[in-house]
Structures are given as C-alpha cells and as structure tokens.
Amino acid sequence: VFDVLVVGGGPAGAAAAIYAARKGIRTGVLAERFGGQVLDTLSIENFISVKETEGPKFALALEQHVKEYDVDVMNTQRASKLAQVGKVVEIHTASGAVLKAKSVILATGARWREINVPGEKEYRNHGVAYCPHCDGPLFKGKRVAVIGGGNSGVEAAIDLAGLVKHVTLIEFGAELRADAVLQRKLRSLPNVTVIASAQTTEIHGDGKIVNGLSYTDRNTSVSHKVELEGVFVQIGLVPNTEWLKGTLALSRHGEIEVDARGQTSLPGVFAAGDVTTVPYKQIIIATGEGAKAALSAFDHLIRSDDA
Ligand code: FAD
C-alpha cells in the first residue's frame, strides 16, 4: 500500500512526488506519459529562475529530479478508475492492475481542444499555438489570428493585441460568446478585427512556418484568406477527468474541484495542476499546486489513526 500515489507525471505530478518522497513515505507515480504537456512544448521562458529551456529538456529534468528520490515510477500506465474501499483508495489501471494507497494525488492535466484542419498539426509550435501566456511574446510585432470567441479566445485577443501588430478574431457562431465586458474591451482596440460566422478551413505555411489562414463565411459560403504569422487556437482546454466522472466533484467544465489545500470532495484524495479548478494553467502554477497537494496529503496521513 502506497502512502501517497500520484496519478499523472507532468509538472504537478513530479512536484507532488518529490514533496511526498522527501517526507520519507512510500510514494508512487502512475503516468500515461511522464513529462506531460511540456513534452509537446518548444520553448519555455516563464519558469522563473530558468531563463530559457525547451519542453523535452524540461521533461527530462523533471524525471531526473524525481529519480533522485525513492519514488516508484510506473510510466506508460493509464488509470481507468478510482474507488474508495474503507480508508484505502484504489486506482485501477487500463492494463488491469489495482494499486492501493492511503492517499492519492490526481494530476492528470489537460489537453487543448484542436480544430482539426489541415496545417494545424504540421505547424504546431511553428506558428500554431495554444497558450497566449506562453507564446504571445514570440509574435511581437507580427499578425496573428485567434480562433474562438468565448472568454478564453477574447481574453487571448485582448492580451495579444498589446504585443502583436494585428489580431483577427475568428468565431464560428454568429456572435461572440465572451462576457459583455470583454467584448466591449475587445471592440475598443484599434488593431483587432472580429470575424463571426466564420469556419476555419486551413492553416497555411511555407513548409516551415505559418503564413496564412483560410476561412469560409458561413452566411455566403465564400472562402477568404488572411495573411498572418501566427494562429492561437482557443476553443477549449479539456481536463483529463473522463475516467473520474461520478466519483468526485467536478466543475461544469469537468475540472476537479479543489479547495485552497488541494483537497477534493473525497477524503484522502487531493488534486493539482491543469486538471483542477485552479485558474491559469501554467507550469509554475502546476508545480506549486503539486507541492501543496503533497503537503496536504502528508498532513492527512499524520492525522489519520492508522498511519
Ligand atoms: P500535464 O502536463 O498535462 O501532465 C499530465 C500527466 O498526467 C501526464 O503525465 C499524462 O500522461 C498523465 N495522465 C493523463 N491522464 C492519465 C490517466 N488516466 N492515467 C495516468 N496518467 C494520466 N506553460 C508554461 O508555464 N509555459 C510555457 O511556455 C508553456 N507552453 C506550453 C506549450 C504547449 C504546446 C502546451 C500544450 C502547454 C504549454 N504550457 C506552458 C502549459 C503547461 O504545459 C501546463 O500548464 C502544465 O504542463 C500542466 O502540468 P500538469 O502536471 O498539471 O499536467
């Protein structure tokens, strides 16, 4: 039986594992893909104290740091079910194993919803981006599009308008869905064009980097092309909680609800990082939350009678 079993091997899971192991308690990490989203990231420039690094390098550093400690790392294993049996939490894996723990930290992260048009995959990290806080500065003085007119898309467009030369906001529906106050702010900006009823059909590039985007006007069916250097896809961040539905409290977006200590609605079960309701999905936030969840799990263990 693990004292702390961490599910997820991204920045949040790695930080949780290190903090737990440093307490000298039996710690395990179960991860489908150790490293998490940073494996798909090119350059990271906002992990404070590390001026510049690359995603795969950062992921390797996470793994090396975890391996400095006595942590049982189970990589390429997917959790498929969580069950509470008395005071023990069971994690069932897709391969049929059942792991038991006195406390569990859920850190399964999230994934950006893709628009699935030609060019999106080809130019990912070469003009196609998903995170304005991360990649906005790379497009300083350039022209970009933001796809998606919900709160995150409109916030991204406002944010980017202060950095880039011009922003084209593309919304599929007839109207933007963002809060009115955000829409007002957006429309007050001189370097933003809003195009509604537009279906993005292709992201173009020169073989190396993005140079344009095509969309179809859904009212007239006429196709248009916009020349630009960057495309931010903002049609939703999906938390990896499908396997947890019905077992603990999730927000209406599917994020695990946590309190200020990372406690979920189930005793002994904590959560951290992009998978939770904690706002702003960033590496530095995920690592901090992971550390916090581990300290909360430790606190839970020393307060329970059988620990
Ligand atoms: P994740 O990194 O998503 O890790 C989740 C972990 O859980 C993975 O190991 C995954 O395999 C595992 N997992 C998922 N489901 C299961 C399951 N059922 N069973 C077992 N394991 C499971 N942030 C920055 O701060 N700066 C940046 O420059 C930056 N750039 C980014 C660029 C890109 C392209 C992307 C996609 C994200 C970027 N981010 C950046 C965001 C950052 O990567 C995330 O905020 C961070 O990785 C979240 O960490 P996490 O540990 O919560 O989740």
As a whole number, mean pLDDT of residues 258-270 equals 98
Please give the pLDDT value at position 3.
98
Q: What is the pLDDT of residues 178-187, one digit of tens each?
A: 999 999 999 9
Q: At what angle do helices 283-303 and 11-21 cross, to 10 degrees?
A: 40
Mean pLDDT of 265-291: 98
Which residue of 40, 41, 248 sits with most ligand 1 atoms within 8 Å of its CB, as the best mutation to test the pocket?
41
Query: Which amino acid, one-letter code, is at 227?
Result: E
User: Which is nearest to 68 in space by CA: 6, 126, 7, 22?
Assistant: 22
pLDDT at position 42, please?
84
pLDDT(189) > 90: yes
202 and 181 in contact (C-beta within 8 Å)?
Answer: no
| Separation CA 89–CA 301 (nearest Å) | 13
In this prediction, residue 307 carries a pLDDT of: 52
User: 18-74 pLDDT, tens per residue?
Assistant: 999 999 999 999 999 999 999 988 899 999 999 999 999 999 999 999 999 999 999
Looking at the CA of residue 34, tell me the nearest atom of ligand 1.
9
Confidence category of residue 226, pLDDT binned at 50, 70, 90:
very high
Is the confidence at residue 88, as pLDDT, over 90? yes
Q: Is the pLDDT of residue 224 over 80?
A: yes
What mean pLDDT is reported for the chain? 97
pLDDT of residue 306: 61
281 pocket-lining for ligand 1 (C-beta < 6 Å): yes
Atom 39, ligand 1: which residue's CA is nearest?
282
What ipTM was estimated for this complex?
A: 0.99
Amino acid making up residue 284: I
Nearest CA to ligand 1 atom 30: 134
Estimate the crossing angle of helix 55-67 against helix 11-21, to 10 degrees.
Answer: 20
Which of 108, 128, 139 best tests ligand 1's pocket when mutated (most atoms within 8 Å of CB)?
108
283 Cβ closer than 6 Å to some ligand 1 atom: yes
Distance from Cα 288 to the centre of ligand 1, integer Å: 14
CA 26 to ligand 1 centroid distance, Å: 24
- Point out the ligand 1 atom lying closest to the alpha carbon of residue 124: 34
- Average pLDDT of 223-241? 97
Pocket lining: 53 vs ligand 1, CB cutoff 6 Å: no
Whole-structure pTM value: 0.93
Give start and end residues of each alpha helix (H) in 81-176.
132-135, 151-161
